[in-house]
Structure 1
């Protein structure tokens, strides 16, 4: 029986209940909601972070030891728990060689329950580098997993190569689970058209203001806008973070044409998306981009760099437009050229916004994700329960 079957949930990259905004945490929370909607009873089993950015093998060893101790404690606790209240399945979200899962495989093996993964990525080059410990752990986890849900289709080739699994074995394990939203606006309020001055197009960027790939995307965006400064546009940037001053400096040249609006709640964001004509985001090394889905749900089309899994959440020339993300050194020129075309044809934006709202409702909703989880996981439980 699926109904209310306990599921242990773990996100070794970032705990899903941490208050700091993050696309990764949003996706983890969405998965918890989808598991519940599918009829399971998910619970956060552990909050230990195994993420190591620097390749410090001593730190990795300490995290592994702490994780195995926690796994032992969980096994002891659940072994003493009445059978109906024990987890019947372990579900790990987002593991890779820099954030391996040492807890789930150990607990699942000890309790003899299925081990399942959503969003795994591996770089074969790290098999012998400073992250080789995490790489080996992730390969072992993938081999143990009964199912691997793929959120980013670009991950499949590396999973196959790094895990050293036969193509048929990996194909049998992998199941597509496209990124989705758990809440949709009651009614998408399609932007009525340019309003910020005569013919001005209202652009929007929504992202955390932090260094690394996010700041690199802001650099590209600022460079792109410099190339089309003569066009009539306005830009609102929603988000905050430690790189706020860097972002402010990048866009200072545009004066009042660019507004740094700070953070906004999810409810406020619905109105922000609906009040703008086009979301613009270069998406450097973006896994898929939850803001891209949120914008479309609210009738705001998207112009984005085609990186990672972005093509899985934006339908090119239908719900938005994608620009080749490589080579990164020339991305600003390509991004500016496409944006220049769209600013010259603002009549294209509203139909794309309507198509995006329909796309998210029909194919990227909580209901669709819950159906995939239920159809995939219920047989695993039934198989285990069979006499």
Structure 2
């Protein structure tokens, strides 16, 4: 299919690393792997930190929609389907529905979040815009069950689909080096060190580690940001190494030379790091936040604890640090599960099926009109 792609929250080529950028890039790769002729329709970012700025974003989006339709009409390119990635009240999509209506094509949304409490109050403008886009959608892919539960009240069953996240597992599939039983268990955490939820995750991690100081472990922290200076003193210098921010190509080696991946996942949608760690064969100790339980099977590929519960996270770490067989078995199960359900090939197949479902729904709607 000729596919138009748009990410209103953050363009796929944004210079700032993030899970959103990574998933946008993977969606484009999945479209390519599925044989779809794909154009990035726009780089316009409608995400706004303050609700009063959304009307300005709306006006810019209207101009951009006219530019896109005029340009494609002029060069004779007509899309068969429009795909928008990551839609919610802070990043509405005014472009996709307008262009889809102009060309009379299906409209698809991947990763839509809906918080009913935003229906009134400062974010009502963005909430209404996001809801309007959802009502136009012919297929909506929710990346985890928590999002699907919030979308069910406003979307028909034939429009709402579960669309689990995926990654290209290839860089993470090198054999794990054998290691004697002696020496500290090597823990790994990966996350930006910035204010807000990421900083909160690091603080919960530090609190959990303080409760397992009687065990033999060492920790590598991969990430950097404005909160690093305030976070550094929370971690024991003799056991922790701050690796700083690393390029994506350096991460597979980090995963391979550690034994356990740990991340509290405060307010994480699902966390790409959990996919990467499991593809690398690491057992996980993490927070059971939003979509994390959808990609980490508690008791099989890792141990999950309630969000923000440092004591429970410490208990998970204690089990994995003390039981080498457990963490080895979980790491092996994790890699197998990623390859079966969350690799790029599986993602490309699911995406292709979603586009065809959208076409079927759109044709059905037009037939009834």
Structure 2 stretches lacking a partner, 5+ long: none
SS at match of 1:267: helix
2:49 match:
53
> Are the aligned partners of 2:139 and 2:358 in contact in 1 as well (CA < 8 Å)?
no
Distance apart, 1:333 and its partner CA: 1.1
Alpha-carbon distance between aligned partners in 1 of 2:169 and 2:359, rounded to the nearest angstrom? 28
Do structure 1's residue 233 and structure 2's residue 217 form an aligned pair?
Answer: yes
Displacement after TM superposition at 1:202 (Å): 0.3
Query: How do residues 317-356 of structure 1 correspond to structure 2 at under 5 angstroms?
Result: 317-325=299-307, 328=308, 331-356=309-334
Question: Which residue in the other structure is 2:152 paired with?
Answer: 160
Q: Say whether 1:150 aligns with 2:142.
A: yes
Is 2:171 the partner of 1:185?
yes
Shift, 1:194, TM fit: 6.6
Measured in 1, the distance between the counterparts of 2:334 and 2:276 equals: 10
Q: TM-score if structure 2 supplies the norm length? A: 0.94
In structure 2, how many angstroms separate the alpha carbons of the residues matched to 1:338 and 1:278? 11
Q: 1:42 aligns with which of 33, 38, 43?
A: 38
Partner of 1:96 in structure 2? 88
- The one of 327, 349, 352 equivalent to 1:371 is 349
In the alignment, the residues of structure 2 paired with residue 131 and residue 35 of structure 1 have an alpha-carbon distance, to the nearest angstrom, of 33
Q: What do the CA deviations read for 1:131-177 (whole angstroms, capped 9, x no partner)?
A: 1111001111111000001112101121133x3x4xxx1x1111221
Which of these residues, 215, 240, 243, is aligned with residue 258 of structure 1? Answer: 240
Decide whether aligned partners of structure 1 residues 271 and 31 sit closer, same or farther in structure 2, where only a CA change above 3 A counts: same
Counterpart mapping for 1:295-314 below 5 A = 295-314=277-296
Count of residues in Structure 1 that have an aligned counterpart in Structure 2: 365
Moved more, 184-193 or 343-352: 184-193
Displacement of 1:381 in angstroms is 4.7
Of 342-351 and 139-148, deviating more is 342-351
- Aligned pair partner of 2:62 in 65, 68, 72: 68
Please say if residues 169 and 276 of structure 2, whose CA atoms lie closer than 8 Å, have aligned partners that are also in contact.
no
Map 1:103-118; keep pairs closer than 5 Å: 103-118=95-110
TM-score normalised by length of structure 1: 0.90
Deviations 1:327-375 (A, max 9, x none): x3xx111111221222222221111111111111111111111111222
For the residue of structure 1 that corresponds to 2:326, the secondary structure is helix
Which deviations, in whole Å up to 9, do the C-alpha atoms of 1:192-244 show, x marking residues without a partner?
3577xx44110000111111100000000001111111211100001122222
Q: 2:119 aligns with which of 127, 149, 167?
A: 127
| Secondary structure in 1 matching 2:75 | coil
Q: Is the 8 A contact 1:205 1:237 kept in 2?
A: yes
1:81 deviates by 2.7
Contact 1:191/1:276 (<8 A) preserved: no
- The Cα offsets for residues 77-96 of structure 1, whole Å up to 9 and x where unpaired, read as 122232xx222211000010
Residues 260 and 320 of structure 2 are in contact (CA less than 8 Å); yes or no, is this contact kept in structure 1? no
Instruction: Report the Cα offset of residue 39 of structure 1.
Output: 1.4
Counterpart contact for 2:169–2:279, Cα < 8 Å: no
